[in-house]
DNA sequence: GACATCAGGATGTCCGGACAAAAACGCCGT
DNA sequence: ACGGCGTTTTTGTCCGGACATCCTGATGTC
């Protein structure tokens, strides 16, 4: 039944076999070799064709099911999901999003200095009140227009400089510094622009702004970054994809 | 090392063993028996204690890692994640959220009738333009105050009545009708209230509103619901948790 | 012809074992 | 006292098999 996939495995590679399989199936879907609704061969047959065991195949398929690319149904089989589920959502920053959209974002750093954490900031970052944390204030531009006003607080000032921040995104710099971000909690709302915000963002006073307060945690659940951002609603919206397991 | 968990298994239950284990570990974390940072016994020991095999234990732990409750590190062990990662995000509706928050939501159905799908709606629902779809317009109240104006389009009018919608949430009704929602794509933005919206929501004209356009798909990737909603920004915000795998 | 029953096919769950790789620890020499 | 090396611990990956459960379609009966 199934479209005969040709998947080649490299057993000497450090990349796990299940991952090699998953990637090549995903690639076949992207390429269009596997069209939406197409049924994969059953797991046992697939395992046989590739010379792998069924658990390994299952692990590969499960990985793609979690990503929303495949759908399994007991007694029926495994199919490529119908409809284009825009794959997105990873832990990205505004900068990443803009870059991917082909825009050329620029950044103006308004402020970059250590401050004593007040009660609220200390609470979310999980440090004692009064501890020195790095406070960061930036304006992000895209296409020559101001887009967002970004406030961030970070526990350990990991060697961030104004120059680096002007050229690259915060998340990119943190990742390069070896920080492994894993969980982010975001609260999204809206409110009217204050006069100061309106001036910085080239909007009328009282214009609707999209607000996002986010705290990002690493592997260990330690807060690595806390941000309070406002976006020009007329120029930006957020996209989120949820997958129920 | 680990705090001795007592987990009891029911092998005659139809609930999978790995799920029984996962639930009881999660419960121990919620209860505080397992504090953040606490190390679990290693997988082999755990399997031995419970009389299960290692793969089963691994499946249980993996489930909790995916949910963001545990963290695994090779050579180290499995720990309860530090910091409270507010668990949320499943595919819920505004109604569910309010109920969980202890509020008593009410709904006024403004309109409930079949309409011919225009180009845009037909596109997102995956039907031919002009096909009859159910259009639904509601105002949601909480604590006696209007909170949101909800517009929805559904492909097959699955026996929805005004009475049912006044008493329960749309998602609840769909689930009860056997619809299995799995993926949702949301775009979140903000804009100023139109005069009509301001009147319905008891806001001033031009007040900032949070907007959300969502399309929900089932197992097969078929669209089951499309909604365009506006929320009073002064009374509501959205919370989203992202977990990177 | 319609409904109930049965068989086949597929995924779901679970077991037991084996080796690899990464991280932490202790030992030892300098 | 310090640094390097090997050992131990623990999770990561992979195998092969067994039975359960669910869905679908065909068969058979009324």
Q: What is the DSSP string of B147-183?
A: EEEEEEEESS--S--HHHHHHS-HHHHHHHTT--EEE
The pLDDT assigned to A205 comes to: 86
How many CB atoms neighbour CB B98 within 10 A? Answer: 22
**DSSP code per residue over chain A:** ----------TTSSS-HHHHHHHHHHHHHHHTSS-TTPBPPPHHHHHHHHT--HHHHHHHHHHHHHTTSEEEETTTEEEEPSS------SS--HHHHHHHTT---EEEEEEEEEEE--HHHHHHHTS-TT-EEEEEEEEEEETTEEEEEEEEEESS--S--HHHHHHS-HHHHHHHTT--EEEEEEEEEEEEPPHHHHHHHT--TT-EEEEEEEEEEETTS-EEEEEEEEEETTT--EEEEEE--
The pLDDT assigned to A196 comes to: 92
Chain A: residue whose CA lies nearest to B189: A237
Average pLDDT, chain A: 83
The pLDDT assigned to A177 comes to: 76
Chain B: residue whose CA lies nearest to A187: B239
**A190 and A98 part of one domain:** yes
Which residues 129-148 on chain A approach chain B with CB closer than 8 angstroms?
A: none
Grade residue B74 by pLDDT with cuts at 50, 70 and 90. confident
**A75 and A106 part of one domain:** no
Residues B113 and B153: their CA atoms lie apart, in Å, by 10
Q: Do the domain assignments include residue B104?
A: yes
Grade residue B131 by pLDDT with cuts at 50, 70 and 90. confident
Retrieve residue A17's tokens: 């076999």
The pLDDT assigned to A110 comes to: 92
CA-to-C1' distance for A17 and D3, Å?
38
Indicate left, alpha or beta for B56 from its phi (over 0: left) and psi (-120 to 50: alpha): alpha
**A101 and A200 part of one domain:** yes
Contact A83 B209 (CB under 8 A): no
Could you give the percent of chain B with pLDDT greater than 90? Answer: 24
Q: Do the domain assignments include residue B57?
A: yes
Domain region containing A72: 17-80
* Residue B204 burial class via C-beta count within 10 angstroms: exposed 0-12, middle 13-18, buried 19 and up: exposed
The pLDDT assigned to A4 comes to: 61
Q: Do the domain assignments include residue A3?
A: no
Q: Would you say A186 and A225 are in contact if contact means Cβ atoms under 8 Å apart?
A: no
**A68 and A101 part of one domain:** no
Q: Does B12 touch chain A (CB under 8 A)?
A: no
Q: How far is CA B7 from the centre of its chain?
A: 28
CA-to-C1' distance for B7 and C10, Å?
33
**A100 and A76 part of one domain:** no
Q: Do the domain assignments include residue A89?
A: no
Q: Do the domain assignments include residue A86?
A: no
Residues B70 and B61: their CA atoms lie apart, in Å, by 7
**B213 and B150 part of one domain:** yes
Query: How many structural domains comprise chain B?
Result: 2
Q: Where residue B33 sits, what CATH number does that domain have?
A: 1.10.10.10
Task: Judge whether residue B221 contacts strand C, using its CB and a 7 Å cut-off.
Answer: no
* C-alpha Rg value of chain B to the nearest Å: 23
The pLDDT assigned to A96 comes to: 63
Q: Which of A58, A80, A102 is the last residue of a domain?
A: A80
The pLDDT assigned to B150 comes to: 93
Task: Judge whether residue B44 contacts strand D, using its CB and a 7 Å cut-off.
Answer: yes
Is B2's pLDDT higher than 50?
A: no
pLDDT in tens, A104-127: 788 899 988 888 988 888 888 888
Is A231's pLDDT higher than 70?
A: yes
**A188 and A134 part of one domain:** yes
Q: Which nucleotide is closest to A57, CA to C1'?
A: D14
Q: Do the domain assignments include residue B87?
A: no
Residues A171 and B194: their CA atoms lie apart, in Å, by 37
**A128 and A221 part of one domain:** yes
Q: Do the domain assignments include residue B86?
A: no
Residues A90-106 have a mean pLDDT of 66
Q: Which of A45, A80, A115 is the last residue of a domain?
A: A80
Pairing of strands A238-243, A106-116: unpaired
Q: Does A8 touch chain B (CB under 8 A)?
A: no
Which 8-state DSSP code applies to residue B67? T
Q: Does B196 touch chain A (CB under 8 A)?
A: no
Q: Does B86 touch chain A (CB under 8 A)?
A: yes
Q: Do the domain assignments include residue A54?
A: yes
Retrieve residue A66's tokens: 């979690």
Could you give the percent of chain A with pLDDT greater than 70? Answer: 87
HSE value, Cβ hemisphere, 13 Å, CA-based, for A145: 11
Q: What is the 3-state secondary structure (H, E, C) of A78-129?
A: EEECCCCCCCCCCCCCHHHHHHHCCCCCEEEEEEEEEEECCHHHHHHHCCCC
Residue among B241, B148, B45 nearest A242 (CA): B241
Q: Does A87 touch chain B (CB under 8 A)?
A: no
The pLDDT assigned to A100 comes to: 64
pLDDT in tens, B156-195: 656 677 777 777 888 888 877 777 787 788 888 899 999 9
Residue among A20, A30, A82 nearest A57 (CA): A20
Contact A82 B222 (CB under 8 A): yes
Residues B110-117 have a mean pLDDT of 89
The pLDDT assigned to B153 comes to: 93
pLDDT in tens, A174-227: 877 777 787 788 888 999 999 999 999 999 888 999 999 998 887 777 788 899
Retrieve residue B203's tokens: 């806001």
Is B197's pLDDT higher than 90?
A: yes
Contact A221 B192 (CB under 8 A): no
Which residues 205-244 on chain A approach chain B with CB closer than 8 angstroms?
A: 206-211, 217, 219-223, 233-234, 236-244
Contact A209 B190 (CB under 8 A): yes
In angstroms, what separates the C-alpha of A138 from chain B's closest C-alpha? 21
The pLDDT assigned to A1 comes to: 43
Please, which positions of strand C sit below 7 A from a protein CB? 8-18, 21-24
Residues 13-32 of A with CB under 7 A from strand D: 16-19
The pLDDT assigned to B87 comes to: 44
pLDDT in tens, A20-31: 999 999 999 888
**A224 and A136 part of one domain:** yes
Task: Judge whether residue A245 contacts strand C, using its CB and a 7 Å cut-off.
Answer: no
CA-to-C1' distance for A192 and C20, Å?
57
Retrieve residue A158's tokens: 């990991």
Retrieve residue B199's tokens: 């009147």
Q: Which of A33, A51, A80 is the last residue of a domain?
A: A80
Q: Which residue is nearest to the C1' sugar atom of C21, using CA?
A: B74
In angstroms, what separates the C-alpha of B233 from chain A's closest C-alpha? 5
**A24 and A109 part of one domain:** no
**A208 and A173 part of one domain:** yes
Is A2's pLDDT higher than 50?
A: no
Residue among B111, B86, B114 nearest B100 (CA): B86
Q: Does A202 touch chain B (CB under 8 A)?
A: no
Could you give the percent of chain A with pLDDT greater than 90? Answer: 23
Retrieve residue A113's tokens: 């200095």
């Amino acid at each position: 039944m199934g479209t005969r996939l040709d998947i080649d495995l490299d057993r000497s590679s450090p990349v796990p076999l299940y991952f090699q399989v998953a990637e090549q199936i995903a690639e076949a879907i992207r390429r269009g070799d596997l069209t939406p609704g197409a049924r994969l061969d059953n797991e046992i047959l697939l395992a046989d064709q590739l010379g792998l065991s069924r658990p390994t195949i299952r692990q590969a398929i499960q990985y793609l099911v979690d990503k929303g690319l495949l759908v399994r149904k007991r007694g029926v089989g495994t199919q490529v999901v119908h409809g284009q589920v825009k794959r997105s959502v990873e832990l990205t920053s505004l900068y990443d999003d803009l870059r991917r959209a082909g825009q050329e974002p620029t950044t103006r750093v308004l402020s970059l200095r250590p401050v004593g954490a007040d009660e609220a900031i200390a609470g979310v970052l999980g440090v004692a009140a009064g501890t020195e944390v790095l406070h960061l204030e930036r304006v992000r531009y895209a296409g020559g227009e101001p887009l967002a006003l970004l406030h961030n607080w970070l526990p350990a000032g990991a060697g961030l400089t104004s120059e680096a921040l002007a050229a690259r995104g915060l998340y990119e710099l943190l990742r390069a510094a070896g920080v492994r971000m894993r969980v982010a909690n975001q609260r999204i709302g809206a409110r009217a622009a204050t006069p100061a915000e309106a001036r910085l963002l080239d909007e009328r006073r009282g214009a609707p702004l999209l607000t996002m307060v986010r705290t990002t945690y690493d592997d260990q659940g330690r807060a690595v970054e806390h941000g309070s951002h406002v976006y020009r609603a007329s120029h930006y919206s957020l996209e989120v994809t949820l997958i129920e397991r």
